[in-house]
Structure 1
Amino acid sequence: MSNSFNSKDHPHRRYNPLLDEWVLVSPQRAKRPWQGQQEEPLTSVQNQYDPECYLCPGNLRINGVQNPRYEGVYVFDNDFGSLLSEGVSFDKTEDELFQMKPERGINRVICFSHDHSLTLPEMSVEAITNVVSVWKEEYQNLGELDYINHVQIFENKGAIMGCSNPHPHGQIWAQSSIPSQVARTQQNLKNYYDKHGTTLLSDYLQREIEINERIILENKGFVALVPFWATWPFETMIISKKPLNNLLAFSHEDQALLAQILKDLTTKYDNIFSVSFPYSAGIHQAPTDSESHEEWHFHMHFYPPLLRSASVKKFMVGYEMLAEAQRDITPEQSAEILKKSSIIHYKNR
């Protein structure tokens, strides 16, 4: 072997301890020309009110329900939810190869603002703090239902991520089972906690702060970074500095600090290509199954699809579907791009 390994030049695999899986990193492929699919960039919405929008205040939704003339945050049960709250009788089958069981739950939509034209980076910290406060309330209220064992809070931003309405909003799915990916994460977090007596993300975050190579933003309560094992080109994660296992442990100051780092991170995203940056983002926190869950540590994932421009996205196909996740640009390279991106929105320069 004539060459010494260099993570900036040589293919390698990185381990994700949250999911107990590996990702293939191929930095040499970042130089390849692109002649594939070009996406339409996500354009900013200009109108503060759209009479045709199902989520704007006072408008009639498709099912005939009229939205109140709300201001700020507005939450309602999804008109076309993926889960139903009614329980059903069921005779369990013993067939090992054809297992199924009913799933019960609630789907809600959370409008971040009455203003149709705003996205998180263009909202004030105070307005985003109100969103975080409602997340906390919904997590508590839904989690107190005896049949709800997990509450998933998330946002799909942009048509490229399957978002069917540009009005600023997210979703909440609460269900009786703990979803597969969350269950895998929980098992890995618990294995680590049982072995070390500390949360996995506390120790990981301390090491990231010491290395200071992939950290994007930091304030008194939270750190935003590109994970060492990031799969998506500009994937990031927000981690609480204190090992808070869910939103109920947040003080009002914590909520404001999370709002600040959310605003700054999403602004950096928009500024990379001077476009409203698409992503799927969501909170991972303790299940609501009445267990103590000392192993859980609040974190929030951001999975943006864009790769090298506003019109070129990363595809998870072929090898990724059949073998394991793969990325070209290294996490350190994407962290450097995000670090250099301004926290002053490009529209306000």
Structure 2
Amino acid sequence: MTWEQRWHPLREEWVIVAAHRNNRPWTGETVGGGARQAPEYDPSCPLCPGNARVGGARNEAYEGVFVFDNDLPCVGPAAPGELPSPPPPYRNRPATGLARVVCYTPRHDLSLAELDTAHVADLLRTWQVQYRELGDRPEVNHVLMFENKGEVVGVSNPHPHCQIYATNFVFKTIENEAATCLRHWREHRRVLMEDVIAAERADGRRILAENDTAIAFLPYFARYAYETFVVPKQAHQSLADLSPEEVRDLAAVLHEVQIRFDNLWRMPFPYVMALHQAPTDGRRHEGFHFHIEFHPPLRKPNLLKYLAGPEIGGGSFLSDTAPEEKAAELRAVPAVHYAHAHADGGGPDA
């Protein structure tokens, strides 16, 4: 047995690692293993090509990546300018912004892992355009892009898609990360994520994929069992700053990670994926290094990582697994998707 605390430099908090706990007797709730087989096209799906959405608009007969304004946005440009003031110490303000949906493919039945790498690169280029357009708006201080995949993380529609929130505020995780990276830059004149990459490459055990300009690894300080970072090696504040070569390399690494996820248990692997990009609030944000984080909720095929006493009550994350062990599991599976193992390494075209 080992009891260890590992420092999370981006969040500036300790993670408790007690890997022996993953095999403790469990009589609590479990979740279903696989997902139901979906059709290529679902006439009732509001994200499939040509179908009507909840707001009444009809999707284009799109063939590639498709972007539209969310019909039920969490923030909006028409947020009321004046709100009734609550009594101290409470405060409020309008939640203005734009919310969009990005459909990865017209195919209802394919995840990003099952598409080909060229299609993943197309998606990255779409994200670049969206970040530039939305971030250039004076009222937008942050562009958050994320995907919720799988019923266990509460996804409302299985059609492969992600969401974009362009808001008049900076989400707290990014706000804290930007401050931490700036402080590290000012104290050491080094980019914190570049120091993390150097440490991971020196160790080597937690690296999942790597090419000339991109790398993926389970960080030393991982909180979730299969938490994974996908990072360009060169420091950029946003995805929009990457060169065409860097986009292709990042797409290849991102795609390989998702294939390894699915191959681990031969099932669609659930996760929350978030793009960590610098705020668009006009500040310089020195030291910020764009990267993509995956937070998969499962620690076994049918067992969730529950946030309970230590996390919710105490505010410190307790990891039931060791990143080195989980990385070894992912490294051991093929880099060709199990559903297309007969092919030459790529998924079906969209």
Structure 1 residues 182, 51: closer, same or farther in 2, change over 3 A? same
Q: Does 1:206 align with 2:198?
A: yes
Structure 1 residues 222, 166: closer, same or farther in 2, change over 3 A? same
- Following superposition, the deviation at residue 91 of structure 1 comes to 7.0
Report the Cα distance in structure 1 between the residues aligned to 2:139 and 2:34, rounded to whole angstroms: 39
Q: Does 1:278 align with 2:270?
A: yes
- Following superposition, the deviation at residue 251 of structure 1 comes to 1.3
Q: Does 1:16 align with 2:8?
A: yes
In the alignment, which residue of structure 2 is the partner of 1:68? 60
In the alignment, which residue of structure 2 is the partner of 1:83? 75
Structure 1 residues 218, 176: closer, same or farther in 2, change over 3 A? same
Report the Cα distance in structure 2 between the residues aligned to 1:285 and 1:96, rounded to whole angstroms: 34
1:259 aligned counterpart, secondary structure = helix
Q: Does 1:334 align with 2:326?
A: yes
Report the Cα distance in structure 1 between the residues aligned to 2:235 and 2:84, rounded to whole angstroms: 39
Report the Cα distance in structure 2 between the residues aligned to 1:78 and 1:337, rounded to whole angstroms: 38
Report the Cα distance in structure 2 between the residues aligned to 1:67 and 1:45, rounded to whole angstroms: 23
- Using the aligned pairs only, state the percent identity: 34
In structure 1, what residue type is equivalent to 2:147? E
- Following superposition, the deviation at residue 214 of structure 1 comes to 1.1
Deviations along 1:60-97, one digit per CA (max 9) or x if unpaired, are 11221111101110000111110011254337969652
Which runs of 5 or more residues in structure 1 are unaligned? 1-8
Q: Does 1:180 align with 2:161?
A: no
The size of the alignment, in residue pairs, is 340
- Counterpart contact for 2:65–2:103, Cα < 8 Å: yes
Deviations along 1:171-200, one digit per CA (max 9) or x if unpaired, are 000101111111111110011000111110
List 4+ stretches of structure 1 deviating above 4 A: 91-96
2:300 aligned counterpart, secondary structure = strand
2:76 aligned counterpart, secondary structure = coil
Which runs of 5 or more residues in structure 2 are unaligned? 342-350
1:80 aligned counterpart, secondary structure = coil
Deviations along 1:258-298, one digit per CA (max 9) or x if unpaired, are 11111110000001111000000011011111222231101
- Counterpart contact for 1:120–1:262, Cα < 8 Å: no
In the alignment, which residue of structure 2 is the partner of 1:5? none
- Following superposition, the deviation at residue 120 of structure 1 comes to 0.8
Query: Which range moved further: 244-253 or 170-179?
Result: 244-253
In the alignment, which residue of structure 2 is the partner of 1:234? 226
Q: 1:316 aligns with which of 290, 307, 314?
A: 307
- Counterpart contact for 1:45–1:166, Cα < 8 Å: no
Q: Does 1:244 align with 2:236?
A: yes
1:127 aligned counterpart, secondary structure = helix
In the alignment, which residue of structure 1 is the partner of 2:337? 345
Query: Which range moved further: 319-328 or 68-77?
Result: 319-328
In the alignment, which residue of structure 2 is the partner of 1:325? 317
In the alignment, which residue of structure 2 is the partner of 1:221? 213
2:98 aligned counterpart, secondary structure = strand
Deviations along 1:291-310, one digit per CA (max 9) or x if unpaired, are 2223110111000011122x
- Counterpart contact for 2:113–2:258, Cα < 8 Å: yes
